[in-house]
Amino acid sequence: MRAIRSTLLTCDAALKHLLLSLEESRPNNARFVIEDLDETHLPVDSSMVDEIRALLQEELDKNSWTLDSV
């Protein structure tokens, strides 16, 4: 057994699905989810929190738009 420093993320089901999808697209040595606990909680590697925030921001920027004034 080994101890891993983790941060518990609490999120809705949609964000959790996005995080798990991002996790699957990464190589095995760059994974950040430690375990899928339940519908709204994910313990993640504490050293990856800033990178997770950046990945989420990048995904949210892809899916947002602004209305230009005419």
Q: How far apart are CA 7 and CA 34, in angstroms?
A: 10
Ordered by where they begin, the domains of the chain are 7-65 (3.30.70.1220)
Main-chain dihedrals φ then ψ at residue 9, nearest 5 degrees? -95, 135
* Residue bearing the bigger pLDDT, 65 or 36: 36
Query: pTM of the prediction?
Result: 0.76
Taking a C-beta distance cutoff of 8 angstroms, is the pair 56, 17 a contact?
Answer: no
pLDDT of 28: 86
In 3D space, the residue among 63, 61, 53 whose CA is nearest the CA of residue 19 turns out to be 53
Taking only the tens place, the pLDDT of each residue in 9-64 is: 999 999 999 999 999 988 888 889 999 999 999 999 999 999 999 999 998 888 77
